[in-house]
Structure 1
Amino acid sequence: MKAAKESYSVLIKQEAKRLGFESCGVAKAEFLEEEASNLEQWLKNGFHGEMKYMENHFDKRLDPRLLVEGAKSVISLSFNYFPEEIQNKETFKVAKYAYGEDYHQIIKAKLNELAFFIQNEIGEVNGRAFVDSAPVMERAWAQKSGLGWIGKHSLLIQKNKGSFFFLAELILDLELETDTPFKTDHCGNCTKCIDACPTEAILPNNTVDGSKCISYFTIELKDEIPSSVKGKFENWMFGCDICQDVCPWNRFSTPHSEKKFKPHPDLLSMTKNDWEEITEDVFKKVFKKSAVKRTKFVGLQRNISFLK
């Protein structure tokens, strides 16, 4: 049985690599005991702001067996999205993950391919694929699967690779050989992400106050952006990469090779003036299949007006 578990894990990792995933690891599907108290405290502190959905499915967030009946393994995968070219520093900026087409669909399609491969090669296996759209604590599972450690900015960092990655999971009722959890924190005494955050959203104890994050204000918050943070966004109009851009580990970031993540050419060349005068037609053209559509044209206009 052990030999079968090992060979299945090797087989799955080989196919994940062929599909373009940077890393793949396996953890046993079980209750996340340590994360339970942390999540409870985070919610009690109101760090989720207006993201009320974070309060839902508390038990499911912590136990994958409540998401997939008979779940035995959580496969964690990472997919690089670091771009070859970035926007001009002087313009209004979009977080790098949203440069190209919406990652949810692209990564989900690859996960479904992997699941289909498992069914064909191993047999009747039940499970579900997740890409940042369900109550799954993806960073905790990635760390438990040996992919990397969770940095002070609460994002997963992979040694010699950085943090510009999407995370995804396959939760299966198949027993697999598990990987050793990543236990070493390689951030050490570095506080660059904490020091660089203009809204002081990153707290000293590896916690992010989501209600103070620029990404929260420009994407999640549907109401008016509070005047208390006026002048602190450093030209970020959708999301924010400040904490990642200053992280020393991201000197190892290499450009992705996924064609669908390439930005619309206009995105890289647009000036502040272009953004201020953007029409709905241009918005639809530049962000045709992008995650930026989530904020809608009026939302982006609100963000741009706030930056003026």
Structure 2
Amino acid sequence: MLTYFNYQRSFVPPQLDVLSYGGAEYFTQHFDTVEAGARYTYKDKFSFNADYFRIWARDFATGQYSVYTSGPMKGNVRPINGYSQGVELELYYRPIRGLQFHAAFNYIDTRVTSHGPLTDLNGDVLKGTSYNKHFPFVSPFQFIFDARYNWRKTTIGISSYFYSRAYSGISNSAAGGYYGMQYYSGGNNYESVLNSGYQCEAWCMTQHEGLLPWYWVWNIQVSQIFWENGRHRVTGSLQINNIFNMKYYFTGIGSSPAGLQPAPGRSVTAYLNYTF
């Protein structure tokens, strides 16, 4: 059995040009990470890893959850403090030659520890404070399973991943909507964008879609070596993604902050490859 412990301190320096309301950040984001765990291995058949981690964040602002509503920093992003902690479990099992099972489970708890007022990026003060709120876009329960079997020149594999529901806004509201009024650089309505080409500003960060749905996606793949001679080889593969055509979607700053981005449905991919 192997045990381990890690500590790491990192930071993000002030950003002069960022995707944010106000266009700049004048502070440094600090992160302290602690990780402790153990790994057990039995011959080549079995291995198990258990891990606990906790990350403390100070002056965190990547999500831009609040702005200053008064004082010399009025209108700029207000940083917050918080933490992320969880447990990671991972298992590998090889019962017979050529067959391998792999499973992993993660539990993640993310919370805001700042007691400041909860505001949207228009500066409107909302009910309550940000204290003890869950950070958005984090699924607390995550599960991964995959299996692979090699027989002669054929490999058959199956994989799946599960993500539980997650909040899409710092207010942790189950229903979708807007934190405050919509705002554009050319006016407070969507016609200013359609007719004048103005950019979407704070409105993009104040819309939320409530609880994002859970999803469990399964994939299968079969690959075959058809011919090989020395380093030359002809291989082929057939893969089906999202076998059961699970319907789910994403939202967020990096994908679709002003709405829903549907995930790929069932798809089939085939390829033939020649290695010279």
- TM-score normalised to the size of structure 2? 0.23
Higher helix share: 1
Higher Cα radius of gyration: 2
- TM-score normalised to the size of structure 1? 0.22
